[in-house]
Each structure stands twice: as C-alpha cells, then as structure tokens.
C-alpha cells in the first residue's frame, strides 16, 4: 500500500445518523484497516430500523448516478481498487451500481466487486422490494467477484435447501460457475453442525474452508453484523491475505464485536472495541472441507 495514497474502496450503501449499519458499519472498519473509502449513500435516515420508527429520505437512482459522475469528474473512480454494496432500496439503484462497476473495470480490470446480497434472514423472511431477489440472482451475482449471503439468502439465490456442509460446498461451487470467484455463506447452520455452533463457509476455485464459532446467547442480536463482516473480509483480501486467513480474521473480528456488545444494544461497539477490527483477540481456525 502507498503511504501517500491508500487504496480506494467505493462503498455504496445506506446511511444512518444513529447506529451502525450500511456505510456506518462498513466505512470505519475499512479505514482502520488502512483503506480510504468513498461512501455513497443510498438513503439518509435518522436511525436504523432496529430502533423502530425512523425519519429521512430514500435517494433515487439518479441521485446515485450524479454522485458517481462527480467522483468521475475528480478522477476518483479510476483509482478505485474495490466496490462494496449491500442493502438495495430498489433494483434501479442496483443497476447504477453495476454501471459503476463496469466503468471502473474499463480503467482497472483487476477491481474487485463484493456484493452482499441482502434480502432477508431466518425468522424475518424476505424484507426487500419484490424485484430485488431477481435482480441479485440474474444481474448482480454474475457481475460480482465476491458474494457474502447468509444461509437464508444463499438458499433463496440458488433455490436450494441445504442439508449438510458438503451440500453447501457443492451448491456454492455451482454458483461460482455463474460468475463470482469467491462465495461466502454466513450464519450457516445445517443439520450436521452442532446446535451450539454457527459456521461461516468460504469457497473459491482452490478449495472450501469452514470456520466454527460458538453461538452467543445475545438477544436481540445487534444490527449491521453482515455489513461489518463483508467490509472486514474485503479489506483482508485486498491486503493480500489468502481466502482462509481473510475468513479467519473477518470471523474473529465479528465474533469479538458481538461478544463485546452490551445486552439490549442494537449496535456493535465499533468505536469502543475498535482494536478487535485490527487485531482480534481470538482466532477460530478455517478448516478445509474435503467433500466426497
């Protein structure tokens, strides 16, 4: 990394004044790990939905396009090393993101696009606009280099119902054939995983690795966990870590932050426990999955 000009990450996500979700969960970890960030906000709300009622505005696709045009005018887009996206308010914003990725790739074919295909979760079901799953499945996933769905989202993307870790590896390899090089499944809890554990699985062209962590008895779980994980994983990969090591570090950071979360808090303690972003206290090993 250059001491004078750190690598640039373009992060297109939501923004809240109170709380840590979207860009407010992703930008700080990226900065602590040595990256300059260009945060482009898709919404500006007073707070995230974990607090209940909120106020603010959803920006339309043309607003996002105008902000990106301004970055282009300043020569910033041509210096972007990676693009990060998460929750999408509507498919039109997603289309603008893909336009931006395509433009950046013309200047830098090596740019990496991490798409966190936020759609829903166990218990909550699908909580996005009805057009989003098809947009992600048919357009965003083929464009992405790295995807980080949770198990619910992975099954929605692939039309599967995972019965084992081996099956998750097999379906992830099939999904790789549609575009992304790296498929990471978070919150994996197939029947062959002990009930007191939660796993994260990463699959690329070289292999598959599984990290097991204890389940934490924290209710409610804080918002923004997936946003922090995706940002941290991307930073570790951009820093040159191989996928198994990046997976270990990102998982360790998220686990430590969740563990440090006060009972009843809706947010991860990103500021007070920020040392866990750079040097997590405890590592959990990424074990290679050798499928039959």
Residue by residue, pLDDT tens for the chain (292 residues) are 445 677 899 999 999 999 999 999 999 999 999 999 999 999 999 998 888 898 999 899 999 999 999 999 999 999 999 999 998 888 999 999 999 999 999 989 999 999 999 998 887 787 888 899 999 999 999 999 999 999 999 999 999 999 999 999 999 999 999 999 999 999 999 999 999 999 999 999 999 999 999 998 878 888 899 999 999 999 999 999 999 999 999 999 999 999 999 998 999 999 999 999 999 999 999 999 987 6
Instruction: Report how far residue 8's alpha carbon sits from residue 71's, in angstroms, rounded to the nearest whole number.
Output: 12
Instruction: Report how far residue 98's alpha carbon sits from residue 226's, in angstroms, rounded to the nearest whole number.
Output: 21
| Cβ contacts of 77 within 8 Å, gap of 6 or more | 10, 68, 71, 100, 103, 104, 107
| Cβ contacts of 220 within 8 Å, gap of 6 or more | 50, 264, 266
Assigned token pair, 94: 């997603």
In terms of CATH, what superfamily is 8-288?
Ribokinase (3.40.1190.20)
Q: If we measure between CA atoms, which residue out of 54, 39, 120, 63 comes closest to residue 87?
A: 120
The domain ranges of the chain are 8-288
Q: Going by DSSP bridges, is the β-strand pair 146-147/182-188 parallel, antiparallel, or unpaired?
A: parallel
Phi, psi of 134 (to 5 degrees): -65, -40
């Amino acid at each position: 990394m250059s001491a004078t000009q750190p690598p640039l990450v373009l992060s297109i996500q939501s923004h809240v004044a109170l709380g840590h979700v979207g860009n407010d969960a992703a930008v700080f970890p990226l900065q602590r790990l040595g990256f300059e960030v260009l945060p482009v906000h898709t919404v500006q709300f007073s707070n995230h939905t974990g607090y209940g009622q909120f106020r603010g505005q959803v920006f339309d696709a043309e607003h996002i396009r105008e902000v990106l045009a301004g970055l282009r005018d300043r020569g910033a887009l041509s210096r972007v090393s990676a693009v990060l996206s998460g929750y999408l308010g509507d498919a039109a914003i997603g289309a603008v993101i893909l336009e931006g990725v395509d433009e950046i790739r013309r200047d830098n074919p090596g740019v990496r696009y991490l798409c966190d295909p936020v759609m829903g979760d166990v218990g909550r079901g699908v909580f996005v606009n009805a057009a989003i799953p098809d947009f992600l499945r048919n357009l965003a996933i083929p464009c992405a280099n790295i995807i980080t769905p949770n198990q619910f989202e992975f099954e929605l993307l692939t039309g599967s119902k995972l019965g084992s870790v081996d099956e998750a590896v097999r379906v992830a390899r099939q999904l790789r054939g549609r575009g992304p090089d790296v498929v990471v499944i978070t919150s994996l809890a197939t029947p062959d995983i002990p009930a007191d554990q939660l796993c994260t699985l990463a699959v690329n062209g070289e292999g598959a690795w599984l990290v097991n962590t204890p389940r934490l008895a924290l209710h409610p779980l804080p918002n923004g966990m997936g946003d922090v994980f995706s940002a941290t994983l991307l930073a570790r990969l951009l820093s040159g870590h191989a996928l198994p090591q990046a997976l270990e570090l990102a998982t360790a950071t998220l686990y430590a932050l969740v563990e440090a979360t006060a009972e009843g808090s809706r947010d991860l303690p990103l500021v007070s426990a920020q040392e866990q972003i750079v040097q997590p206290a405890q590592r959990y090993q990424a074990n290679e999955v050798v499928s039959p």
